[in-house]
Each structure stands twice: as structure tokens, then as C-alpha cells.
Amino acid sequence: MLIAEERKALVRRRLDDSNFYQFELSDPINLVDPLGLAADNPTTQPATPVSVNTRKGSHAVPGGTLSWALGEKGDTAGFVMNFTPDKGKCACTDITFVQVVKSTQGTGNNQVTTFPGKPGDKDNEDYYKQFLTKDGWMVDHLKQSGIPFYGVKRDHDNTKWIDLPGVGTLGNGPAGVDATMSDLPGFASTQVRAGKGDANATWEVFAICISTGKVLGGVTWGTSVEDKAGSPFLLHGGGDADFLADPTQEWKDAVAQWNTVANQGHGYFPFNPK
């Protein structure tokens, strides 16, 4: 396994790569550590969805800088995010991300919420439905993990948070360690361009401090596929203008719903943003 410094060096050597997402896919070890890519090359993205494109953004936030990039390959999106702490200005030792998602298919009265896993699996849907808000948002988490944070896990003594290989790294302000996350979502192939309605998914992700509950800033991004043969996989948001300084109501509602489930005593970690 590459050590952290080697990973960072590999990433830095490729910062000038014009196609960030192609690089990310071909060097997946570095997926979780895009470093200052977006910060070095901030761009304002068009408001309309585009295909075969890369979107980036960066923003100064309390205690550091948030940077991100969004791209695609085939019917899979790639989103990476980085919180770089300013040494001496960020006291948090456990920085990670909380991401919420709304995924639907169809429009109007025919619109339904879709979930990770096998479409139509009732047990699977029942599991996820307990986390849904009335508006169809939920904390984006791995089923049965009990963890609302994106990109970290518990160590084997269950005493501290650690990196989740390939998915994220735990940030540490005083140590100057970046928090990173990587998401590669895609729709089920049987659900798109198959006469089942347009597919849409929107995410809102915020960097947070686990121990204090402080929310540091976030961004919204999304994907969609029109229900038509040959329709492209589209990206939405993820640009510089899609920065979110404060948690949105849907993000707060989804976290509150997560806590409702966590408080039922399943061993799930609650998160109380402040």
C-alpha cells in the first residue's frame, strides 16, 4: 500500500492533467486525495447540465479550504472533495463529511424514490425508508454500517475514527491532515432508458467536525438520465457557484431523521450539527 506521502506526490504530479476525472479513474488509489486541485484551478461552471465535462470549485471556509471536483465516465459519476485545514486555525481532530441524497425516478404523480441496491427488493427498500424525510432525502450511508459519516470507519477497538481505504481520509486540523472523500455513484442499468421515467439524483455534502458538531461548508451536485434511448448521463451542480456556506433545510432534516433512527438504540452513531 502506498504511504500517504507517496500518494500525495503522485497526485501533485498530475495536478496539471486537463481531464481530472479520467485521471481519477485511472489512478484510483489517489481518489481520496485530490489535494488542492480545485483550489488551484477554480472555475465557474455553467448552470445548465453538461456531459463529458469536469466541474470544480473551491471556497475558503472556517478553519480551512474546501475544494471539490465532479466528473463522469459512462453512466458513473465521480465526485471528490477535500477539506484542507489552515494550520493553527482549525482545532478539530476528526474532520469528515456528512452527505445527504435524494434519488428519484419519474415525474409528477409517477415519481418514486429509488435506493441503493437491487430495484424492487422490499427488505432493502424498507431498510432505507426509515431514514427518509418527508421530502425524500436521507443521509447517504452504507447499509448496516450505522455510520452517518462519509469516508471514515471505526478502528478495531471501536475507540476512534480512522480512514476508510479508497473512500475517504479523516482530517486533522492541528496535524495539518486533509479530510477527503470519494463517491462513484451510478444508476442501476435496468432502471435507466428503460421506459421507467427520468432518473435524477441530487447530493448535498458538508465537511463537519465529528467531535464538536461544527459544520464547515459544503456543496451540492447531482446526476440525471433522461428516459430516452441514447440519452447522456448528465451532471448537475458541482461547480464553484454550488458552494453552500450553511446547511440547507433538507440536509438538517435528513440528519435529524438519521438521529431519530439512531436514538432507537440500534447502535447507530448520532450526529448533532451545531
Q: Residue 15 interacts with other proteins (CB under 8 A)?
A: no
Binding mask 186-215 for other proteins (x = CB under 8 A): xxxxxx------------------------
Q: In this chain, which stretch among 59-67, 111-119, 213-221, 226-234 interacts with other proteins, using CB under 8 A? A: 111-119
- Nearer Cβ to other proteins (86/128): 128
- Nearer Cβ to other proteins (93/169): 169
Shortest approach of other proteins to residue 265 CB, angstroms?
Answer: 18
Shortest approach of other proteins to residue 87 CB, angstroms?
Answer: 28
Secondary structure (H, E, C), 19-85: CHHHHHHHCHHHCCCCCCHHHHCCCCCCCCCECCCCEEEEEEECCEEEEEEEEEECCEEEEEEEEEE
Long-range contacts of residues 59-62, Cβ cutoff 8 Å, at least 24 apart: 59/217, 59/240, 59/243, 59/245, 61/207, 61/216, 61/217, 61/245, 62/90, 62/214, 62/216, 62/217
DSSP state of 231: P
* Contact criterion met (CB below 8 Å) for 31 and 166: yes
Q: Residue 106 interacts with other proteins (CB under 8 A)?
A: no
Q: Residue 28 interacts with other proteins (CB under 8 A)?
A: yes
Shortest approach of other proteins to residue 44 CB, angstroms?
Answer: 26
Q: Residue 126 interacts with other proteins (CB under 8 A)?
A: no
Give the Cα separation of 77 and 192 in Å (integer). 14
Which stretches of the chain bind other proteins, using CB under 8 A? 1-2, 25, 27-29, 31-32, 75-77, 79, 103, 114-119, 124, 140, 142-145, 150-151, 153-156, 158, 164-167, 182-191
